[in-house]
Chains A and B, each alone.
Chain A
């Protein structure tokens, strides 16, 4: 009975917090109407979505992609080219970018997922440079190094220019979070996590590991591509170094690691902390590379102090406190039930 009511309180707190956060997120552009703060808001929500997208693959399967900037860039270029060269409706092209990048990721994944561990990381890294060269070289389509300028969104005041993009990124974030949550509860998600643990064993249990990995990879890339599409329409300008930059992919990883790759909200939390922090440093110290140095130090600190990331660390600390207060460590529980289990045979 007691534990039942405790569970109910827990659920109430959980859903209450979530509801509060959603309301805050929806009200943000009007709570902080300052254009600079709105800009930071868009950047933050963008990276929250990107880091969660990256984690859909890496957090579940353990396959770390350093090349998600490539998907971000392809999504951005697809959208930019469709708008500039073919005069297509912008937000429809943003959605189409997701499909296009998904198809692109099928090909890339089919090749890259033949490798594991460090080799996979290197292959995805190489992809970014290949795409960079392609975007620079294919002038007729991409505009080469001089880039592409997009028409700005019409019928909206300068003051409110960030608002539609804020909500576009917010929708992306919601969709990615929901997808990740759904997968986490499904048989498919169990298979993905099993791949992280022991890929060959998973296969022996009927898990089609190649297909599972490819689906997760394509979803992760597709969402990242949509992010790129929104980004290019928001910035109205794109050039190769802007999007095919390792930094964007590294940021996603850093944020996910900070918040915790083994949790649903971890990557988003990481972005929520890091993006405003970085923007503040850029604002205060401008052209210095201080924010890059601090980002590097932070990465080191995470690996040393919080290898699991914030949310899983808090969770396990809470679990320790809980078991300490109820007078039984999990190890003790295990030995005890071990005897119970083995005693049955006697």
Chain B
């Protein structure tokens, strides 16, 4: 059984086929990358599989069951989490409060649970400690640097205990030191069992971090394989350089 797959997934905006007949598979426990030139449909693909937008056609399967057509919160509760290309945080809420929003299981007891002082807050503090944001727990999220916001976004996502994490440009707009930290964290979480699927333009990072690469061009998957195979694939070079 494939861990996560899409089958002939398609979506058009007006006359533009943003994602076109995309059949993609990724394996459990691996770090996979989704690369491609700007406008090749990567973010649209993420939006489709997480239910943020609806597909015109095609299937999305996660652990053997269909998650296509589910609402975003249902996808999240099934264990598929995501971050956003332009980091999205609850800017007025404090760093700690941001950590307390994600929901692991849906239930009355879970929702009425004391978030501020209870076990949830304790769990949040462990994660903040891990990403080095403990001291900033009381700051509004808007006051963080961009790199810190990226860390907070990933840490808060981990509060919902996702099995599969989709990262949309985790290294975009971040300084090299912070890129090292984020990629180190991804590697750690991966070794602890989280599967990653990453959209990224930073090729050295992709080649270094990922086990498997899928290449999109104009909404169509044109190549897949290990980083070494992808690097030398003429179709990929054509897509990036040929225009």
A interface residues with partner B (beta carbon < 8 Å): 182, 185-191, 193-194, 196-198, 200-209, 330-331, 333-334, 337-338, 340-342, 344-346
Interface flags for B57-84 (1: CB within 8 Å of A; 0: not) read 0000000000000011100110001101
Chain B, Cβ-Cβ closest to A215: B111
Distance, CA A222 to CA B120, complexed state (A):
30
Do A186 and B180 contact each other (CB < 8 Å), given the known contacts A334-B144, A342-B147? no
Do A345 and B177 touch across chains, with their CB atoms under 8 A apart? yes
Choice from B112, B133, B147, B157 contacting A205 with Cβ under 8 Å: B157
Choice from B73, B97, B133, B181 contacting A190 with Cβ under 8 Å: B97
Interface flags for B130-174 (1: CB within 8 Å of A; 0: not) read 001101100100011101100100001100100000000000000
Choice from A200, A337, A338 contacting B52 with Cβ under 8 Å: A200
Whether B115 is near chain A, meaning CB under 8 Å from some CB there, is yes
Chain A, Cβ-Cβ closest to B108: A188
Do A203 and B72 touch across chains, with their CB atoms under 8 A apart? yes
Distance, CA A140 to CA B116, complexed state (A):
51
> Could you list some 28 contacts between A and B, CB below 8 A?
A182-B112, A185-B115, A186-B114, A187-B112, A188-B111, A190-B97, A196-B92, A197-B93, A198-B89, A198-B90, A200-B52, A201-B90, A202-B90, A203-B72, A204-B50, A204-B84, A205-B102, A205-B156, A208-B106, A209-B73, A330-B139, A333-B139, A334-B143, A337-B136, A341-B133, A344-B132, A344-B181, A345-B178
Do A197 and B91 touch across chains, with their CB atoms under 8 A apart? yes
Distance, CA A331 to CA B142, complexed state (A):
11
Distance, CA A330 to CA B139, complexed state (A):
8
Which chain B positions have C-beta within 8 A of A189? 115
Q: Shortest distance in angstroms between A215's beta carbon and chain B's nearest beta carbon?
A: 9
Whether B231 is near chain A, meaning CB under 8 Å from some CB there, is no
Do A200 and B72 touch across chains, with their CB atoms under 8 A apart? yes
Distance, CA A207 to CA B116, complexed state (A):
17
- Quick one: which of A185, A190, A346 has the most chain B CB within 10 A? A190
Whether B207 is near chain A, meaning CB under 8 Å from some CB there, is no
Distance, CA A200 to CA B52, complexed state (A):
8
The tally of residues in B whose CB lies under 8 Å from a CB in A reads 52
Q: Shortest distance in angstroms between A211's beta carbon and chain B's nearest beta carbon?
A: 9
Whether B100 is near chain A, meaning CB under 8 Å from some CB there, is yes
Which chain A positions have C-beta within 8 A of B113? 186-187
Do A193 and B111 touch across chains, with their CB atoms under 8 A apart? no
Do B106 and A186 touch across chains, with their CB atoms under 8 A apart? no
Distance, CA A331 to CA B114, complexed state (A):
30
Chain A, Cβ-Cβ closest to B166: A204
Which chain B positions have C-beta within 8 A of A340? 132, 135
Q: Shortest distance in angstroms between B86's beta carbon and chain A's nearest beta carbon?
A: 11
Which chain B positions have C-beta within 8 A of A330? 139, 143
Q: Shortest distance in angstroms between B50's beta carbon and chain A's nearest beta carbon?
A: 6
Do B102 and A206 touch across chains, with their CB atoms under 8 A apart? yes
Which chain A positions have C-beta within 8 A of B92? 193, 196-197
Do B135 and A203 touch across chains, with their CB atoms under 8 A apart? no
Choice from A193, A333, A342 contacting B90 with Cβ under 8 Å: A193
Chain B, Cβ-Cβ closest to A188: B111
Whether B101 is near chain A, meaning CB under 8 Å from some CB there, is yes
Distance, CA A208 to CA B103, complexed state (A):
9
Distance, CA A25 to CA B103, complexed state (A):
39
Distance, CA A316 to CA B84, complexed state (A):
31
Do B88 and A337 touch across chains, with their CB atoms under 8 A apart? no
- Quick one: which of A191, A207, A344 has the most chain B CB within 10 A? A207
Chain A, Cβ-Cβ closest to B157: A205
Whether B204 is near chain A, meaning CB under 8 Å from some CB there, is no
Do B143 and A331 touch across chains, with their CB atoms under 8 A apart? yes
Distance, CA A194 to CA B73, complexed state (A):
13
Do B114 and A205 touch across chains, with their CB atoms under 8 A apart? no
Which chain A positions have C-beta within 8 A of B147? 342
Q: Shortest distance in angstroms between A155's beta carbon and chain B's nearest beta carbon?
A: 40
Whether B201 is near chain A, meaning CB under 8 Å from some CB there, is no
Do A207 and B175 touch across chains, with their CB atoms under 8 A apart? no
Distance, CA A197 to CA B144, complexed state (A):
16
Choice from A188, A204, A338, A345 contacting B72 with Cβ under 8 Å: A204
Interface flags for B91-125 (1: CB within 8 Å of A; 0: not) read 11100010011111010001111111100100000
Distance, CA A25 to CA B2, complexed state (A):
65
Distance, CA A206 to CA B77, complexed state (A):
5
Distance, CA A205 to CA B165, complexed state (A):
11
Do B103 and A207 touch across chains, with their CB atoms under 8 A apart? yes
Do A342 and B178 contact each other (CB < 8 Å), given the known contacts A190-B115, A197-B91? yes
Choice from B88, B112, B145, B180 contacting A345 with Cβ under 8 Å: B180
